[in-house]
């Protein structure tokens, strides 16, 4: 077996060689600033405009509705801060869910603690799914904005965002969805399928480059910008555009999201093999839903130890996994997702395997062979640490 087995595709994916090749001219030959008026700048501007046109055509949007960002975190921040501040005079009530990515939750925390907004955080059921009826009950005359992710990064739950979006549209509420984990994993037809006014996308989740993202903003919405200092991105995001990364983002979108690069036909049998092994292990409980969930993701908790001990044990064997959001790497903070599931006692023992296009049956067999011993060692270490 190879020394490294990578089962952490929800955290990031390797840059695809075809995407790298598409980016290459923009790391050398085409290096002008798209805002410069000379011929080098005009050439860069033409390429930037063409990339925006390609993204819009692919997504089923207008070019003016495509805002390039540095990634999913910035796209989420711009959507939430920009829209809430824009609409503050109309109302201060906001709705999100309890299991959003930190780049969403922390925005709402800030707005609530520092800017006078009222935030309701939707609870979830045992599968990590928000209930449409609960969402409707929270809506009041002062509700102006809601944000619910399309699919959860930690346990894989798919949310009923299309239905939530329709409700918001009927009630005149602006709706955002963080679709960072959706693209490349779930079927995509057009941006309209989400019924959302704002949608966040991130390139490195589907074999594009890091540092490249996109926020779809349905016309004529114009959120307040976060950055100032130029009229870039239709005056919505100041800063010289990272043209090479943008080209990579658009190329990866076109290659890997209409027909998801995370092929469920290939991945599901591998995941079933992992699930059968995990279910047989004492103290292990799968927390990913059995249906309406990302096909590539299985998360479980391990009684008697913590996620960091498990990840260390896996890494010793060359197995790369995660204990939740990669943006919280190195953190010992218990998983807010597992807490929201009503399992606070297990929130610090989450392990996530997320497979990808390069995962193989041999790798899964290797992990399944070693996993019982890894779990047992981590549990024994937990007993020793507690003096038992």
Degrees, nearest 5: CA angle 58-61-64 = 120
Quickly count: other Cβ atoms within 10 Å of residue 266's Cβ. 16
Contact 194, 180 (CB under 8 A): no
Q: How far apart are CA 377 and CA 20, in angstroms?
A: 41
Q: Where are the alpha helices (DSSP H) in 65-191?
A: 72-87, 102-114, 132-138, 161-171
Query: What backbone torsions phi and psi does residue 104 show, to the nearest 5 degrees?
Result: -100, -50
Q: Do the bridges between strand 93-97 and strand 143-147 make them parallel or antiparallel, or are there none, so unpaired?
A: parallel
Cα four-point dihedral sign 123, 129, 132, 135? positive
Distance CA(95)–CA(261), nearest Å, equals 32
Burial 335-351 (b: 16+ CB within 10 A, else e): bbbbbbbebeebbbbbb
Give which of 314, 294, 313 is closest to 355, Cα–Cα.
Answer: 294
Contacts of residue 232, defined as CB under 8 A and 6 or more positions apart, other chains included, come to 35, 238, 239, 240, 241
4 burial type by CB count under 10 A (0-12 exposed, 13-18 middle, 19+ buried):
exposed
- Helix, strand, coil percentages (3-state) for the chain, rounded to 5, are 45, 15, 40
**Cα(373)–Cα(160) distance, rounded to whole angstroms?**
39
Q: Identify the CA nearest to 92 among candidates 140, 141, 168, 143.
A: 143
Of these residues, 168, 202, 320, 327, which one is catalytic? 327
Q: How far apart (Å, rounded) are the C-alpha atoms in residues 78 and 232?
A: 14
**Residue 327 annotated as catalytic:** yes
Beta bridge partners of 213: 69, 202
> Which residues belong to the active site?
327
């Amino acid at each position: 077996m190879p020394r490294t087995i990578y089962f952490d595709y929800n955290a990031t994916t390797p840059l695809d060689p075809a995407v790298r090749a598409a980016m290459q001219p923009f790391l050398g030959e085409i290096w002008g600033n798209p805002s410069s008026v000379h011929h080098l700048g005009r050439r860069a501007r033409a390429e930037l405009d063409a990339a925006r046109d390609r993204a819009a055509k692919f997504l089923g949007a207008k070019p003016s509705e495509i805002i390039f960002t540095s990634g999913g975190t910035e796209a989420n921040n711009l959507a939430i801060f920009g829209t809430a501040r824009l609409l503050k005079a109309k109302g201060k009530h906001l709705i999100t869910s309890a299991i959003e990515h930190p780049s969403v939750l922390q925005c709402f925390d800030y707005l609530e603690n520092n800017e006078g907004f009222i935030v309701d955080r939707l609870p979830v059921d045992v599968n990590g799914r928000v209930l449409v009826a609960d969402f409707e009950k929270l809506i009041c005359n002062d509700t102006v904005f809601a944000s619910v992710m399309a699919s959860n990064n930690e346990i894989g739950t798919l949310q009923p965002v299309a239905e939530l979006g329709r409700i918001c549209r009927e009630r005149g509420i602006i709706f955002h969805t963080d679709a960072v984990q959706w693209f490349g994993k779930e079927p995509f037809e057009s941006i309209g399928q989400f019924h959302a006014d704002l949608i966040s996308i991130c390139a490195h989740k589907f074999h594009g480059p890091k540092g490249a993202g996109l926020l779809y903003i349905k016309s004529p919405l114009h959120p307040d910008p976060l950055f100032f200092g130029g009229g870039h991105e239709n005056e919505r995001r100041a800063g010289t555009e990272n043209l090479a990364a943008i080209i990579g983002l658009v190329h990866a979108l076109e290659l890997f999201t209409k027909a998801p690069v995370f092929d469920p036909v290939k991945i599901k049998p591998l995941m079933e093999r992992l699930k059968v092994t995990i279910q047989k292990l004492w103290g292990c409980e799968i927390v990913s839903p059995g249906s309406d969930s990302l096909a590539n993701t299985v998360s479980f908790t391990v009684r008697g130890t913590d996620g960091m001990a498990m990840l260390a044990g896996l890494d010793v064997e060359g197995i790369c996994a995660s204990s939740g959001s990669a943006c919280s790497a190195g953190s010992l903070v218990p998983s807010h997702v597992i807490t929201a599931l009503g399992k606070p006692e297990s929130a610090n023992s989450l392990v996530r395997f997320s497979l990808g296009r390069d995962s193989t049956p041999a790798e899964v067999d290797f992990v399944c062979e070693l996993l019982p011993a890894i779990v047992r060692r981590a549990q024994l270490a937990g007993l020793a640490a507690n003096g038992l």
